[in-house]
Amino acid sequence: MTKIESELIRRWLNGWTVARSLSEAEPVESAGDGLRSKCDQPGREVEVFALRADEEPESLARLAAAVAAARQTTWLTVPTLRPGTVEAVVGAAGLELLHRSEWFMTTDLTEHPQHAPAAPYEREVRTEGPVTVVSLHDSSGDVAARGTIAVVGADAIADRIETDAAHRRRGLGRAMMSALAEAAVAQGARTGLLIASEEGQRLYSSLGWRYEAHVLIAGGRWFPPTGRTGSRRPIRPYARRTPADPPSEDARTYCDCLFRLCSGWPSISAAPARDHPQEGEACCRTGRAV
């Protein structure tokens, strides 16, 4: 295989927007180059998804140039079997690479292994329309792990799979994926799709999920609002800073906002220490599947 099929990317994106309650993605102006989703998140107002990066590198160059010129904070997500080429193209457009090691993965949900949560954890499954949310609760009733899956036709897209730091290495990831797969199959799904972070790839592989492509994510300059007037000036929350160059109050506020949005914790300081980002560094991942 020399490329990832654009139809597979479209199928994943259709389910991801349903899982996030987002509007349907729209074509980017250049015909067939990619799709554009309005996310309306701090630091991620728009996300552009490349459809033909491997078969036509020029299409990726056009998308990268458009993202670099965008006035809204925009991510460019690129599924590819040629990550080195993609990195060179987005770099030449002036974009900053945010994530380079994520995987696009698929599986046959009808053959998904089943694992029940061990005591004292209990499972809660809530389904509303095509979206199912699974929560695993500890003995005190607190959420120890959670995840979402959206069913679109015969596809099911897993999203926002996460386990609280205090409850890791107890098999909750396996139990979570088992519950999501079971719920999706009950709604008629057969094929599972997700984008896995580097941390989640070993778990999904052990459950039979197959690698389809790398996923690289790049972004342009960041312009969070500052001051009462809402004026904008660039900061780079993904760049490392030294003690001699501490993050500004604006950067700390913006970073905490991103962290609360993506992690569910009320603030960075309230989260377990092992989950703390370095101030001035990335404070959240893509929020897809950990």
pLDDT of residue 220: 80
Residue 39: helix, strand or coil by DSSP?
A: strand
CB 23 within 8 A of CB 17: yes
**Three-class DSSP category at 261:** helix
- pLDDT tens, 177-213? 999 999 999 999 999 999 999 999 999 999 999 999 9
Please enumerate in sequence order all residues whose Cβ is within 8 A of that of 3, keeping only pairs 6 or more positions apart, or say none: 54, 55, 81
Amino acid symbol at 201: Q
Alpha helices for 83-132 (secondary structure H): 83-92
pTM confidence score: 0.78
Res. 9 pLDDT band, cuts 50 70 90:
very high
Whether 271 contacts 263, CB under 8 Å: yes
pLDDT in tens, 129-187: 999 999 999 999 999 999 999 999 999 999 999 999 999 999 999 999 999 999 999 99
Any idea what DSSP says for residue 25?
A: P
Residue 35 corresponds to which tokens in the numbers above? 């799709």
200 token code pair = 């989640």
For the chain, the straight-line distance linking the first and the last C-alpha, in angstroms and rounded, comes to 26
Higher pLDDT, 133 or 243: 133
Residue 277 has pLDDT above 90, yes or no: no
> What does the pLDDT read at residue 41?
87
CB 151 within 8 A of CB 184: yes
Chain-centroid distance, C-alpha 289: 6
The sign one gets for the Cα dihedral 254, 36, 64, 201 is positive
* pLDDT tens track for 229-239: 333 333 333 33
